[in-house]
Amino acid sequence: MERSLFLSRPSTDHGALLASPFSAASLTAFRRRRFLPHDSSLKIQNQLHSISSLVLGASSTVRCEASMYKQTVEIIDLDWDNLGFALLPTDYMYMMKCSQNGMFSKGELLRYGPLELSPSSGVLHYGQGLFEGLKAYRKEDGSVLLFRPQENALRMRIGADRMCMPSPTIDQFVDAIRLTVLANKRWVPPTGKGSLYIRPLLIGSGAVLGVSPAPEYTFLVFVSPVGNYFKEGLAPINLIVENEYHRAGPGGTGGVKTIGNYASVLRALKKAKENGYSDVLYLDCIHKKYLEEVSSCNIFVVKNKVISTPEVKGTILPGITRKSIIDVARGQGYQVEERPVSVEELLDADEVFCTGLSMGTKVLGLYLNNFILHLRDYRWAFQRTRWGGQCS
């Protein structure tokens, strides 16, 4: 039985942005290493942005903190209007290592390039690896904004504990992100043309033969300018509901961002794209009737102004954008339910949308276009609705 779902995807504008103050001492130390040019115009500011009320009727606002970096750097010459979601090697990457004592050494910026790994590295044999994904955006005044890097740092630490790996502290993680973004600032797309995708990576780089944790770990950060994740751009995306393959099971690693989770979805995703679908919507592996998530994002269902999303119980990745939407919506007075959501509820939904940083979402800046649901040979169409808000 074939099931498919057309979903709308939010615009790529910026959303609620949070970050903590930048360590000037860290930047000075790296300048002395000649990795970054000294620039007296570099300023680090904290500002409060308010998220405008939802069109559905709320009048209150939620305030969120953002860090902005100003630096006189020319933007690299690219065809920004046709920027897709593919790797474009940039100038620098960040690296630091951790030995068996669990303490990470002082990191450094290096020219972007290949890594040297032992053939018996733990990540190559036993999949001991985690990654994160977040973005930096350029404002019209040239400043650069990061989207909630502390949340990614915390999620990596939770994932590292599950995978029996040491992890950078939140401060180490955030400093590494900022240094990498500043070193590659000329690659941040102009306002409205995309974003700088940031990929932190934690791997078991030490040599191991038997099944055991690696004796050494490497933390890396690299970046790439990106546009829309899906080829459809801002048009609705077409999902197929998968009931044969499953992304994760109870007691497994579906709730953390480990590398193996993504390898397991490749077959279903490849099959879906060969048949003209954008991505796959997975069901739970026990009852095979409750929504879990899409390969690269979380899913929400709206009915009678009640927002519902599958609860996080170890098989679903707790997305940062998902959390942001829930926090802001509740702060605006909306009812948000985290609970089992059956696939049948898609038939009766007023609106359906999905969220995820890779696909270019923004916090509560969702344009819910017409979507058509094919399920059990029935067909529904819903009118275009805007459910939105953005940092002012």
pLDDT tens figures, 325-373: 899 999 999 999 999 999 999 888 888 888 887 654 322 222 223 333 3
Q: How many Cβ atoms from other residues are within 10 Å of residue 41's Cβ?
A: 9
**pLDDT-derived band of residue 152, with 50, 70 and 90 as boundaries?**
very high
Mean pLDDT of 102-128: 95
pLDDT tens figures, 262-305: 998 999 999 989 988 888 999 999 999 999 999 888 999 999 98
- Percent of the chain at pLDDT exceeding 90: 54
Position 383 scores a pLDDT of 28
- Percent of the chain at pLDDT exceeding 70: 71
**pLDDT-derived band of residue 73, with 50, 70 and 90 as boundaries?**
low
Lowest mean pLDDT among 69-78, 91-100, 107-116, 195-204: 69-78
**pLDDT-derived band of residue 149, with 50, 70 and 90 as boundaries?**
very high
**Residue-range domains of the chain with CATH:** 92-227 (3.30.470.10), 239-364 (3.20.10.10)
Position 75 scores a pLDDT of 86
**pLDDT-derived band of residue 236, with 50, 70 and 90 as boundaries?**
low
Residues belonging to the active site: 257
Q: How many Cβ atoms from other residues are within 10 Å of residue 179's Cβ?
A: 24
pTM for this model (two decimals):
0.76
Q: C-alpha angle with apex 6: 372 to 318, nearest 5 degrees?
A: 135
For residue 112, pLDDT beyond 50: yes
- Tokens 């939802």 found at: 54
Mean pLDDT of the chain: 77
The residues with which 66 forms a beta bridge, in sequence order, are 47
